[in-house]
Every structure is written in structure tokens, then in C-alpha cells.
Amino acid sequence: MSKKVIVIGSGPGGYPAALRLKELGAEVSIVEAWDFGGTCLNRGCIPSKAFLDTGHRVHAFDGLRKLLKDGSGASFSPDMLDWEKIKARRSEVITKLRTSLEKLFQARKIEVLRGRAAFSGPNEITVTGPQGAVKKTFDAAILAAGTRPSFPPPFRDYQERLTDSDRVFDLPKLPKSLLIVGGGVIGLEFACFFNSVGVEVAVLELLPDILTGEDPQVTRAVRSSFEKRGVKFHLGKKTVKISAEGPLKSVELEDGTSLQAEEILVGAGRAADLTGMGLESIGLAWDRRGVKADAQMRTAVPNVYAVGDVNGISLLAHSASRQGEIAAENIMGASHAFDDSIVPKCVYSWPEVGSVGLNKAQAEAKGLQVKTARSFYLGIGKAVATDETEGFAQLVFDAADETVLGAQIVGGPATELIHVLALAVKLKLKRKDLREIIYAHPTMAEAIHEALAK
């Protein structure tokens, strides 16, 4: 007899789970309160990359000056940009992908329920939406409800007058100046985009450095690159006062520094979006970090699984997708586990950042003796030919047998190249294994080969 499974949320955790369940013969219903594709497609990964692509085009356009005849005078000015067209292009990208996803659900005959889901029993939910209140029974359920922007104090008291990583895409105009709260991936990607289109950008980070958890060499390279382009960083300082009145908003830091900008974007993390879902009624505890789940994606309630940001294990879209597939397979009788150690972590600014596995400090904290090898793009032919010499590739090995423990790449197509090294970590390849690969010339991937040769 086919299992009846409810998937709550159609983002990068929910829709792969629903598709995999259908492949395995389950009867699947998917619940979505907002838009197909969740935060990633509608307010996160995809729209932010559409914005960053605009920034890349501006960067390339401005770089043409080196190749023009003297006196040609072509250069970029922020006044040349049409903010409404930038937003419209982002909307077009989202619509195309969302429509494709909707058609995929239709083709696979996955039932779609619009509205908010709430558990009304251990094997029943009520979906309240345009169709009224509909009760559905299930054998298993997958929570993939995602997260919402989080406003830490003192910004929490002003959130209606500030913007966040969801609402920034709909600002009525391109601001002349912007304060970004948070020096993580979200904050840096927006800092990169807005700086590229002529906005004066400052980043506030409560911790001593940006990109917490990354190798110090990585954070140093990224911060230096941003600073050369005019982005200002205020690190290790607490915000003690905010004023959101008038044409300029302002903050005061604990050291007395006062900063002003037209807009303040709070990108200091996200919180689980589980309010009103009735989890308490089935004995499932949760907090702002979400619901606890094990490596098989099981929660404390045997037939309820949690995937993606809502379980707090790995707040990345591609982690959510793999977790969704694992939950689906385990519901249908498998016993698979999610391995966070092989998840590529990416920053899509420029320079790009891709990392996987352990960095030197993390490996040493585990008691391992390690060796590192690094090469710089300055010595790579393709990088020099394309004027992309910023950054490096670094590998971390177990000193005992030269097994690849991790890698970090800054610059070039780092978010693409890192998959080669993710495979090495997954398969526990050794240095000699990677050296035996023939790397095409000229390519940016030769940075990996050069590091291995050192």
C-alpha cells in the first residue's frame, strides 16, 4: 500500500523531497503558504544572483575603459542605471523558474495545497487557505517551512522602518548610502552588489571578523578586496542606539562612532518560521533555531521529519535539497544520513569564495596534524589573460597520509571549482590522486593543480 506523505513548504528542501517521494511511489501532497520555490527562489538565492549579475555587468562595462581610445570617456555612472528595470529583470527570472516548478508538480501529479498548515493530530493537518480549511491525513510529514529574517536587538524595535534580505529587492529607489548589519554571506553579497552600482556601503559586524568559520586567509582576502573598492567595515562593535526618523537613518556604536545612511539593511541571520503550525499539539518542541532533527532528518515525533533551514543543521539551499531527498528515501524504507562535512559553502560576491571540509584551524582543533598547500591566481595563465588574478586555492591535508581534509578557494569561479574538492573530501582522496588528474590549460582550475605541486 502506498504511503501518504505531506510536505510542508515548496522551497529547496520541500520540492526535492516531494519529487523523490513521487519517484519512490508515495502519494504526495505539498503545502505552500506563499510562493512556489520558497525563500531561495523568491527572496534569496536566485534574486540576489540576478542583482549580482547586474553588478558584474557594471564591473565589466567600467573595465572597458582600459581598451578604449584616449578621450573616449566611456565609464559607468550610477545615474545610468534604471532601478525599476533591475527589479523587473529579477522578477522575470523568478517567474520563469517558478512557472517551471509549478509545471513539474503538475506533470508528476503532486497535489498542491495553498495555505498555512497546522497539525491537528499526529497523523492529520489542517490547511487554511483560498480553498477554506481542508483536513488531510498522512502516514508521514516533512517540515520544510524555512525561515524568516531575524532582527537582533536593538534593530528589532525598528524593523518596520528598516529593510531586510526579503524586502530589499523592492526598495522604491536605489539608495545613495546603505548600512548593512551582518558580515556573513547575506550581508557581503548585498554589500558587493550595492557597492558595484555606486552606493556608499558600510558593514556592521558584532563579531571580530566577517564570514565566521572561514579560514583567516579567506576572510582577510575578501575584506581587503571589499575595502579597496570602498566598502567600510566596523567589526567587533555593538550598536547601542538607532534613529530611523528623517531622510537619513543612523546608528551609534558602543565606541561612540556615529554612522548615517539612507537605508539600513539587517542581514544578521534568520529564524525558523513555525508559528501557528500546532507543533506543540503533537509534542514537538521548537525555538528560533527550528526543530531538532537527527542525521536521518527524523524529529522527536517518529513520523515527522524536518529538512532545510528549519532544522538548523546547515543553512544552505543545497543542504536543504539533499536533506529533503534523504527524508523522502528514509520515509520509504531507506536508512540514509546527511553528511555536513562534504557540503560546499559558497559566497557569490567578487571575489567568490568556495570552501568544503575542514580548514587548518578546524582540523587542528580535532587533534589532527595537517599540511596546507596554496597557489595564487597571479601565477595562472587564464587568470592573467582574463584579468582575474585576485585570490588563491588552498588545500588542507592530513600530514600522516596526505588525505584531503578540506579546501578553500577565493576568486575566479570559486563556487564552481569547489565541487572538485568536495568530491575529494567525500571519497577521502589523497594528494597523489588529485595530482594524477590532467587539468586543462588554460583554465582557472589549474590553480588547484599548482597548489598540489607545492
Residues annotated as part of the active site:
441
The number of beta carbons lying within 10 Å of the beta carbon of residue 91 is 15
Q: Give, in order, the Cα–Cα distances in Å from 275 to each of 272, 290, 317, 411.
A: 8, 10, 22, 40
Rounded CA-CA distance 259/276 in Å is 38
Q: What is the 3-state secondary structure (H, E, C) of 286-335?
A: CECCECCCCCCCECCCCCEEECHHHHCCCCCHHHHHHHHHHHHHHHCCCC
DSSP 66: G
Q: Give, in order, the Cα–Cα distances in Å from 228 to each of 181, 221, 225, 233, 300.
A: 20, 11, 5, 12, 49
On the 0-12 / 13-18 / 19+ scale of CB atoms within 10 A, 248 is middle
Segment (H or E) for 418: helix 414-427
Joined together, the cell numbers standing for residue 414 give 570559486
Q: Where are the alpha helices (DSSP H) in 28-117?
A: 38-43, 45-63, 83-107
Joined together, the cell numbers standing for residue 363 give 582540523
